[in-house]
Amino acid sequence: MEKISYDEENTDEYIELLFEKFGKEFFKEVYLKYQKGMTIDVAFKEVLIKHNKLKSLNIKKLKIKSKMV
């Protein structure tokens, strides 16, 4: 398994960029959902959807006809 390098300076920069892009209130909502027992990834996704930052994908199943040999 490949080891993931951790660069604290870049991590701080990414966090600052996220706060700049989404704002304090956005992350406050994420944290409140997390406090209520939701996993952090699901909370983040739900708040993204709520603020129209992420849209659900509509995936349709394709009907494929197979040939019997």
3-state DSSP of 1-43: CCCCCCCHHHHHHHHHHHHHHHCHHHHHHHHHHHHCCCCHHHH
What is the pLDDT tens value at each position of the chain, 69 positions in all?
666 676 777 888 988 999 999 999 999 999 999 999 999 999 999 999 999 887 667 788 878 777 665
> What CA–CA distances, in Å, run from 49 to 8, 38, 63?
29, 15, 30
pTM, to two decimals? 0.62
Q: Could you tell me how far CA 64 lies from the centroid of its own chain? A: 32
